[in-house]
Every structure is written in structure tokens, then in C-alpha cells.
Amino acid sequence: MNIKSTSREIKVLDGNRAAAYGAMLCQPDVIAAYPITPQSEVVETLFSFKAQGLLNAELIEPESEHSAMGILRGASIAGGRVFTATASQGLLFMFENCIHVATQRSPIVMVNVCREVAGPHIVVSGHSDIMMTKGMGWIQLHARSCQEILDLVVMAYRLAEDPQIRTPVVVCYDGWFLSHLWEPVEIPAREEVRRFLPPLETSPKVDPETPMVLGPWISSRPATEYRYKQSAAISRAKVKFDDVDKEFREIFGRGYGGQIEEYRTDGADIVLLAMGSSASTARVAIDRKRDEGLKVGLIRIRMFRPFPKERLVAALRQRKAIGVLDRSVSFGWDCGDLLVDVKAALYNLGTNIPTLNFICGLCDSDITTEIIEGAIDIVGQAAQGKPCEEVTWLDLE
Amino acid sequence: MRLKTEFDAPWAYSDRILVLKTGEWRYQRPVVIVSKCCQCGVCYLFCPAGCVSDMGDHYEANLDYCKGCGICARVCPANAIEMVREA
């Protein structure tokens, strides 16, 4: 493992190593992380970088994820750039501190390797962990390739540290399907990353010269104001993410479209929505269906929080039917989490586009191109006005 | 909309911190009989609120924070503290 300071190079990396490279290139001051399957290689690789002198960060392996986030909470209010990585039960365990750092507006960047939460006792891929924590006040980004994992970690720091946003960011990618998938990844030169990501300047911060208090007992009025400011800042991240993506393309030659990525949506009557690695598989299915003459396209949600409702509504306005692939279940709605948000966004359209939900890829189930093609066929029938089940559990078909 | 808070996060200057006056919760208060106080400091050690101070010739609770629990009166070996009901 080596890294050149002025030139790019291509290495074959898995998703976890790509995340570690992304973090190392941003040169955080403090990294506190507790290993958990399928994230462990992120932490291992970062320790290895430190041993080789590629990373100057203070590396801490605490006794739990809760403590890891607690350490970052302190390091961040002292003005440090920080990083951690977790998955599943680890994310749930650090949940309490995650909310604290969001309220204190710490620009923390975390990687979550999406894994189903127990029970039953399962160590498998799925989105249930990150969906259960979607309301914790973090910006939530989703990658579909190992290259995008590295790139998103770098972009995440720009979003988190933006003075108008100052909100923690979690970069998500699918456990196993991406964390352990090996792909060629272009590693940016350090100099380029330095140009893209200026040093972090925070204010106020913990400083013995001017003692300040963070998080004291306060009355309802200022507490409500902090909630208001936090909500507005998170929403500002939507347009900012589009800008950051454009700027990233200018420097590194790669872009992804910001909040959402559209694939062959030109003139598409029906559109499939997906998030994460299944969107890569869906491209192949879309290509096949296009070859058959079906006007179908794909929209990938890259930013799940804040939810890209404006861009999504604009992209879905003229469609005849929509299919939503969900890798989690929203208990109480009896459908997937993404569908709930998509339908809420579509309300402002004023028209009723048939929107079908496909629950698939739960608990490590494969989402094959054939499965996605089957889903596209059902959406095609809905576009022709045929009555269809709103929610289909594809893994059980 | 008019916002009053200066920062985006709940920061406060340490000398301007908004403090909860727990003394407002009290229904009885400790009154020290100065002549009886032997200045042993047991009340200072036992006060759960940490609000008892050495006044030079006796110890006394800061009534801004004293919740009136009565522990100081109970532990005082000289019986120098009486709990008096608040009006």
C-alpha cells in the first residue's frame, strides 16, 4: 500500500479499503472506531496506513461504538477533523451519541456498511440499520460502486464542513455486495484532495483561553431555535451536494449527478428508483429492457437524507408509472422505507402516478437482473392502466 | 421569524451560562445556629448539591441551589442546623 502525492493511480480495492483510502486522503486528526462485520477492514486498513506513516491521525480503538462516537464528539468540538466506521448493531449502539453530535453540529464523517439488524441473528446485507436511524439528523449518502465509496467519503467532508451546513454525514454502502467486492479504483493524488478539501476551520470550539459550554441546560425557546437551524442547515445540503459533485468532476474527472443519478431516463415512460448496489444491477436490466423496446429508465437516490424531493419530483413529472426497489421494511406502513418518502414527495405533483413497491434484497437475498426485469414488467403493466399490487415481496415470489 | 440564539449549536459563554436555580424547588431550608457550629465541615462533605461553603466562622448553604433535602441537619454532630419550613 502506497500513495503518491502528485499523481493518480489505479488499484484493485474492495469497498472497505476504498473507504479507508478516502478517509486517509482527507487526513483526519482523530479516528475512533470499533471493528464490526462487515466493516472491520476499514479499521484494519486505517491502522495499517498509520503504521506505514501514511496517516497522522490519532487512532483509537475504544471498547464500543458508543464510546467511539463519544470520542469523536469531543475531538470535533475541539476543532478536529474526525472519522469513524460502523455497521448494523454498532450503529444502533452509537445511535444516542449520533444524535448529540448532530445537535452540536459536528462535521463528523462516518461510513456505515449497511447490514441487517438482528434478530434473528443475521450478519447479512440489507438497509434496515440505516433506515432505523434515518431521523438522527445526519446527512445520508449512498454509493453503488467501490470508486464511489472513496469519492463519497471525500465529498462528505466538503458537505459536513461547509459553514452553511455543519452537519455530520454518513456514507452508506451495501455490506458484502460492496464491502467485499473488489474493483479497480482510481485513487486521487493527495494534492488534488487537498485542493478540493481545504483545512477545517470551526468556530466556536473548545479552547482553554476562552472557556465555553456546549450543551448546557436551556429553556424551550433556544432549544427550539437550535432544532429550526439544524433542520434548515440539513436542507441546504441538497443544492450544495449538486455543487460539490460538479466541483468534484472538474478536479477528478468523475461526477455522479449530485442528489440523484439518472440513467437512460430520456423519454422513459416508466422509471425505476433504487439505492445502493442494486442500482448497478438495475442498469443491466434497464439496458436489456431498452433493447426490447421498452421506454424505461433508472433514478438512483444518492442522497437519502435530506430527501431530494425537488429534483425527484422534477425527474418523475412526466412518467406513466414508477417502481421503487426497497431493501428494508417500514413496519407500520407495510411497505419499504423508500416508498414512503417517494410518495410523500410525489404529493406535490398533484397527479397520481401509479407507484409500485418491490421489497427485495432483504437479509442477503440476491437482487439479480432477472428479478429487476420482472419488476420492470409489472411496472409496465401499471403504466398501461392495469391494476397491480402496490407492494410485492420479490424474495418470496 | 426572529431568532435569539447566537450560535448554530447550543454553545454558551461560560460566564453567561443559563443556570437552573434548583433552590426554587425547596419547601424547607437549613438555618445554621452559628454559635453551635463547630466548623467540622461534615455538612460540606455530605451536601448532595455541593452548595455548602465555609463562611469563616461557620458553614452555610447557598440557597440558590439548596433543595432543602435536610441531609446537612441530619449529619451535623453539633446539632447546629435546623430545617425551617419555607413560607
Domain holding A31: CATH number?
3.40.50.970
Q: Among B5, B14, B20, whose Cβ lies nearest the Cβ of A222? A: B5
Q: Are residues A214 and A266 in the same domain?
A: no
Evaluate whether residue A183 is within a structural domain.
Answer: yes
- Of A252, A286, A311, the residue that ends a domain is A252
Q: Are residues A75 and A204 in the same domain?
A: yes
Q: Are residues A304 and A238 in the same domain?
A: no
Q: Are B72 and B81 in contact (CB under 8 A)?
A: yes
What pLDDT score was predicted for residue A35? 96
- Of A252, A274, A304, the residue that ends a domain is A252
**Is B5–A216 a contact, with Cβ atoms under 8 angstroms apart?**
no
Residues A306-316 have a mean pLDDT of 97
Question: Is A6's pLDDT higher than 90?
Answer: no
What pLDDT score was predicted for residue A3? 60
Evaluate whether residue A264 is within a structural domain.
Answer: yes
**Alpha-carbon gap, residue B16 to A347, rounded angstroms:** 46
Question: Is A5's pLDDT higher than 80?
Answer: no
Residues A165-191 have a mean pLDDT of 97
Q: Are residues A107 and A236 in the same domain?
A: yes
- Which B residues, 6 through 45, put their C-beta within 8 Å of a C-beta on chain A? 7-14, 17-20
Residue A211: which pLDDT band, with cuts at 50, 70 and 90? Answer: confident
**Is B11–A204 a contact, with Cβ atoms under 8 angstroms apart?**
yes
Question: Is B19's pLDDT higher than 90?
Answer: no
**Is A211–B14 a contact, with Cβ atoms under 8 angstroms apart?**
yes
Q: Are residues A185 and A272 in the same domain?
A: no
Number of domains in chain A: 2
Is the link from the previous residue into A119 a cis peptide, with omega within 30 of 0? yes
Q: State the number of CA atoms in the 13 A half-sphere of A324 facing the CB.
A: 24
Q: From chain A, which residues contact B within 8 Å (Cβ)?
A: 103-105, 166, 204, 210-219, 221-223, 225-226, 228-230, 233
The better pLDDT of the pair A211, A43 is held by A43
Question: Is A217's pLDDT higher than 90?
Answer: no
ipTM: 0.81
B22-85 is classed in which CATH architecture? Answer: 2-Layer Sandwich (3.30)
Q: Are residues A199 and A335 in the same domain?
A: no
**Conformational region of residue A166, where left means phi above 0, alpha means psi within -120 to 50, and beta covers everything else:** left
Evaluate whether residue A4 is within a structural domain.
Answer: no
What distance in Å separates residue A210's CA from the closest CA in chain B? 8
Name the nearest CA neighbour of B20 among A58, A380, A219: A219
Question: Is B43's pLDDT higher than 80?
Answer: yes
Q: Are residues A241 and A282 in the same domain?
A: no
**Alpha-carbon gap, residue A222 to A228, rounded angstroms:** 10
Evaluate whether residue A95 is within a structural domain.
Answer: yes
Question: Is A85's pLDDT higher than 90?
Answer: yes
Residue A4: which pLDDT band, with cuts at 50, 70 and 90? Answer: low
**Alpha-carbon gap, residue A105 to A95, rounded angstroms:** 15
B87 vs A: CB within 8 A: no
Q: Are residues A100 and A125 in the same domain?
A: yes
**Alpha-carbon gap, residue A91 to A129, rounded angstroms:** 7
What distance in Å separates residue A95's CA from the closest CA in chain B? 19
Residue A210: which pLDDT band, with cuts at 50, 70 and 90? Answer: confident
Helices (H) and strands (E) in chain B, counts: 2, 5
Question: Is A38's pLDDT higher than 90?
Answer: yes
Q: Are residues A308 and A360 in the same domain?
A: yes
What pLDDT score was predicted for residue B6? 87
**Is B5–A105 a contact, with Cβ atoms under 8 angstroms apart?**
no
Residue A269: which pLDDT band, with cuts at 50, 70 and 90? Answer: very high
**Is A104–B9 a contact, with Cβ atoms under 8 angstroms apart?**
yes
pLDDT tens column, A322-371: 999 999 999 999 999 999 999 999 998 888 999 999 999 999 999 999 99
What pLDDT score was predicted for residue A2? 55
The better pLDDT of the pair A208, A101 is held by A101
What pLDDT score was predicted for residue A49? 97
Question: Is B18's pLDDT higher than 60?
Answer: no
Residue A213: which pLDDT band, with cuts at 50, 70 and 90? Answer: confident
Residues A49-67 have a mean pLDDT of 97
Q: Are residues A151 and A97 in the same domain?
A: yes
Residue in chain B nearest A166 by alpha carbon? B8
What is the share, in percent, of chain A residues with pLDDT greater than 90? 90
pLDDT tens column, A127-141: 999 999 999 999 999
Q: Are A369 and A325 in contact (CB under 8 A)?
A: no
What distance in Å separates residue A161's CA from the closest CA in chain B? 13
Range of the domain at A313: 260-396
Q: Are A322 and A336 in contact (CB under 8 A)?
A: no
**What are the chain B neighbours of A204 within 8 Å (beta carbons)?**
7, 11
Question: Is B5's pLDDT higher than 60?
Answer: yes
